């Protein structure tokens, strides 16, 4: 992927005068236990979902991205041993894959081509997502460079060493970078290194619970005062057929490459590629800084199954325990106020009924029959992202709470007959719907369980209503803004400036129609990383902004446009301003 930042072109902040996004220490008088703000998210999944907004539309349209493994992905393994070909051919080639995963803009991150070749794709994806997460349009419009030197923490879930074996078992071609390039810790450590972050930086391996535990650790770091900001999440890339073959032999995978969560015919899951990074920040700091708070992380917890019938067998008691612990951490929230549960729901014959039973005891018991708790899972849409499953489920849950909408379950033909749905107090969301009206704030829960027994749970709440009102003040009707403001864009390559201009124009004609140009201009100038090649557009309204940006993207000059290149302390004019 070529990079100046995320595919989405711009982000906005509520407070146009705010520039100090990351204070060294949280406010001393900040109330404890009030929650942690979610101020940024990024994601990547099969189906071309490279922003949270794209993912949400994908979910609401009940799409799925199951398909065949990309060509040449497994070619190196055919050459390793003469017996491999037969085994690989007997291994399922179906799943949820990201196309063009090998395309990595190493130069943008200051990485040499040789070093990049030794880097696990997990590390590459982690770098991209960590750069995108603070900056996307749905988020606060944060300049990642402003985090430099701060105590920002990084916790990343990972659970696959496919690429490590590919590189380190190729003795003749081992390079000096092969070790750090394939290590689990290289994922968070590279993020910390690239952004110059000096807080905790740790990889988390708890199988499919890894990334939700990473989010749990991020929340703990913030509430303890160790960090004011945390980048948390997980990544999952399927570089080799070995783990797929093992899971197939264990009976964990579906034969058709589909996840059928809650369905009566569910007989295993399909592996998925992707990841997500979530930006957490002390709530008091986020409010003081005028950040666009997507939701509030009220409580998290993690636990272990303990002794079960087998180390890979689920434990309903542990799932119930960790949910109640998360509710307790959230301030003893009444479980009946939870309106939605994003389930782990791996589409296994034992796992789904076990989880529904445990969630029923926590969130379903005592509910009126006409007001069940909604439940769902995005695994049929994008696959089981394993180490990144909790993070991508968290993204979906935050979006649901933020938007006040519930995405439907896809690939659902008949509800699992092993579950007594009438008595469960739970209801699978089968069509797009608005969040049920309630007296209090919207609340949801997110589950994630590892096959080694680690379990995790998170409780998420709607942004405080009084703060939402201040955020709404940053959106005005497009036709009332009629005084000139400077719109700035930048890129580390001159040829990409027109691309940035087009992306920004597209956004202004879509999601950005009601965003104040003043706030947009402030965000682009103060909350975006500034690269060497820059362009400025002086415009008075949305219509003029869109037209000017599109003209620039097509190479047409204008009197209200200037483009420069910054060289150290010198500025070189590369496009003469029209007169």
222-232 pLDDT per residue, tens? 999 999 999 99
CA 224 to chain centre: 24
List CB contacts of 131: < 8 A, sequence separation 6 or more.
3, 5, 6, 109, 144, 194, 195
Q: Rg of the chain over CA atoms, in angstroms? A: 24
Residue from 350, 307, 342 nearest 323 by CA? 342
Task: Return phi, psi of residue 485, to 5°.
Answer: -135, 150
Lowest model confidence (mean pLDDT) among 15-24, 337-346, 363-372: 15-24
Lowest model confidence (mean pLDDT) among 91-95, 285-289, 557-561: 557-561
Lowest model confidence (mean pLDDT) among 2-11, 62-71, 363-372: 2-11
The Cα–Cα gap between 518 and 362 comes to: 47
Question: Alpha helix (H) ranges present in 204-337?
Answer: 210-223, 242-249, 283-288, 316-329
Judging by DSSP bridges, how do beta strands 36-45 and 274-282 pair with one another? Answer: antiparallel
- What is the arithmetic mean of pLDDT over 546-566? 84
- What is the arithmetic mean of pLDDT over 247-271? 95
Task: Return phi, psi of residue 420, to 5°.
Answer: -85, 85
Give the pLDDT score at 543: 86
What are the tens digits of pLDDT across the range 306-325? Answer: 998 888 888 999 999 999 99
- What is the arithmetic mean of pLDDT over 21-25? 38
Q: Examine the pLDDT at 511 and tell me if it is beyond 50.
A: yes
Lowest model confidence (mean pLDDT) among 20-34, 130-144, 219-233: 20-34
> What percentage of the chain reaches a pLDDT higher than 90?
57
The Cα–Cα gap between 168 and 491 comes to: 36
What are the tens digits of pLDDT across the range 28-57? Answer: 443 334 689 999 999 999 999 999 999 999
Q: Examine the pLDDT at 154 and tell me if it is beyond 70.
A: yes
Residue from 211, 249, 57 nearest 129 by CA? 211
Give the CA distances from residue 512 to residues 116, 294, 402, in Å, rounded to whole numbers and listed in that order. 36, 17, 17
The Cα–Cα gap between 364 and 424 comes to: 6
Give the pLDDT score at 416: 96
Q: Examine the pLDDT at 439 and tell me if it is beyond 90.
A: no
Neighbours of 317 (CB within 10 A): 14
Lowest model confidence (mean pLDDT) among 194-208, 527-541, 560-574: 560-574
Q: Token pair 């659970």 is at which residue?
A: 159
Give the pLDDT score at 224: 96
Q: What is the helix, strand, coil percentage profile of the chain, to 5?
A: 35, 20, 45
Give the pLDDT score at 16: 36
Task: Return phi, psi of residue 35, to 5°.
Answer: 110, 170
Give the CA distances from residue 8 to residues 56, 97, 314, 506, 517, in Å, rounded to whole numbers and listed in that order. 14, 22, 39, 9, 17
Which domains, and CATH codes, for the chain? Answer: 36-101+108-466 (3.40.47.10), 476-575 (3.30.70.3290)
**342, containing H or E segment:** strand 340-342
Evaluate whether 536 touches 484 at the Cβ level (below 8 Å).
no
Q: Token pair 């995405």 is at which residue?
A: 407
Q: Examine the pLDDT at 371 and tell me if it is beyond 70.
A: yes
SS3 229: strand
| Helices 389-403 and 52-60, axial angle in degrees (round to 10) | 80
Evaluate whether 487 touches 536 at the Cβ level (below 8 Å).
yes
Which range is most confident: 129-138, 179-188, 326-335? 326-335
- What is the arithmetic mean of pLDDT over 197-208? 97
Lowest model confidence (mean pLDDT) among 153-162, 172-181, 402-411: 172-181
- What is the arithmetic mean of pLDDT over 486-500? 82
List CB contacts of 44: < 8 A, sequence separation 6 or more.
50, 98, 125, 128, 129, 274, 275, 276
Q: Examine the pLDDT at 3 and tell me if it is beyond 70.
A: no
Q: How many Cα neighbours within 13 Å face the side chain of 359? A: 35
Evaluate whether 281 touches 36 at the Cβ level (below 8 Å).
yes
The Cα–Cα gap between 528 and 506 comes to: 18
Give the CA distances from residue 136 to residues 50, 113, 327, in Å, rounded to whole numbers and listed in that order. 11, 27, 30
Burial of 343 (0-12, 13-18, 19+ CB in 10 A): buried
Judging by DSSP bridges, how do beta strands 405-406 and 67-68 pair with one another? Answer: unpaired
Tokens matching residue 32: 């404890």
Q: How many Cα neighbours within 13 Å face the side chain of 432? A: 11
SS3 326: helix
Question: Alpha helix (H) ranges present in 234-281?
Answer: 242-249
Q: Examine the pLDDT at 13 and tell me if it is beyond 70.
A: no
Tokens matching residue 401: 């709470």
pTM score, whole prediction: 0.83
Tokens matching residue 142: 């944060």
Reported as a pLDDT band with limits 50, 70 and 90, residue 481 is very low
DSSP letters for 367-393: --TTSPEEEE-SHHHH-B-GGGHHHHH
């Amino acid at each position: 992927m070529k990079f100046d930042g995320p595919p989405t072109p711009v982000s906005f902040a509520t407070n146009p005068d705010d520039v100090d996004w990351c204070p060294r220490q949280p406010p001393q008088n900040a109330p404890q236990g009030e929650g942690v703000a979610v101020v940024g998210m990024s994601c990547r999944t099969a189906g071309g979902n490279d922003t949270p907004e794209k993912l949400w539309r994908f979910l609401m349209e009940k799409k799925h991205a199951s398909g065949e493994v990309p060509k040449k992905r497994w070619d190196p393994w055919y050459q390793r041993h003469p017996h491999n070909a037969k085994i690989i051919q007997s291994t399922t080639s179906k799943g949820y894959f990201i196309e063009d995963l090998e395309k990595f803009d190493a130069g943008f991150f200051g990485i040499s081509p040789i070093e990049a070749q030794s880097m696990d794709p997990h590390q590459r994806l982690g770098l991209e997502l960590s750069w995108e997460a603070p900056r996307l349009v749905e988020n606060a419009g944060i300049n990642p460079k402003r985090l430099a030197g701060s105590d920002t923490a990084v916790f990343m879930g990972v659970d696959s060493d496919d690429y490590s074996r590919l590189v380190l078992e190729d003795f003749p071609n081992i390079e000096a970078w092969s070790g750090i390039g394939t290590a689990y810790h290289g994922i968070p450590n590279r993020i910390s290194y690239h952004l110059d972050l000096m807080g905790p930086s740790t990889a988390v391996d708890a199988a499919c619970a890894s990334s939700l535990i990473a989010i749990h650790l991020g929340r703990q770091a913030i509430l303890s005062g160790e960090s004011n900001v945390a980048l948390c999440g997980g990544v999952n890339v399927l570089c080799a057929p070995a783990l797929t073959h093992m899971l197939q032999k264990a009976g964990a995978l579906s034969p058709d490459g589909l996840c059928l969560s809650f369905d009566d015919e569910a007989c295993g899951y399909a592996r998925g590629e992707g990841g997500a990074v979530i930006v957490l920040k002390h709530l008091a700091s986020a409010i003081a800084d005028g950040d666009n708070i997507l939701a509030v992380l009220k409580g998290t917890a993690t636990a272990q199954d303990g002794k079960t019938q087998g180390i890979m067998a689920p434990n309903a008691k542990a799932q119930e325990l960790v949910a109640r612990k998360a509710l307790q951490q959230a301030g003893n929230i009444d479980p009946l106020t939870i309106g939605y549960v994003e389930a782990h729901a791996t589409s296994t014959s034992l796992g789904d009924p076990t989880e529904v039973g445990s969630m029923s005891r926590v969130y379903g018991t005592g509910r009126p029959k006409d007001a069940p708790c909604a439940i769902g899972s995005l695994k049929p849409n994008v696959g089981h992202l394993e180490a990144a499953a909790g993070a991508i489920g968290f993204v979906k849950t935050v979006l649901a709470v933020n938007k006040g909408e519930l995405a439907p379950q896809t690939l659902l033909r008949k509800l699992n007959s092993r579950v007594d749905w009438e008595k469960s107090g739970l209801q699978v969301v089968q069509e797009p719907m608005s969040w049920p009206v309630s007296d209090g704030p919207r609340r949801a829960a997110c589950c994630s369980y590892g096959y080694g027994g680690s379990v995790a749970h998170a409780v998420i709440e709607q942004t405080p209503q009084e703060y939402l009102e201040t955020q709404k003040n940053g959106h005005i009707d497009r036709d009332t803004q009629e005084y000139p403001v400077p719109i700035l864009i930048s890129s580390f390559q001159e040829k990409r400036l027109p691309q940035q201009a087009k992306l920004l124009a597209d956004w202004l004609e879509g999601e950005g129609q009601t965003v104040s140009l003043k706030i947009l201009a402030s965000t682009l100038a103060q909350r975006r990383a500034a690269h060497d090649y820059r362009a400025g557009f002086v415009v008075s309204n949305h219509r003029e902004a869109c037209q000017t940006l599109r003209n620039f993207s097509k190479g047409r000059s204008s009197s209200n446009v200037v483009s420069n290149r910054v060289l150290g302390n010198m500025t070189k004019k590369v496009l003469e301003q029209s007169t």
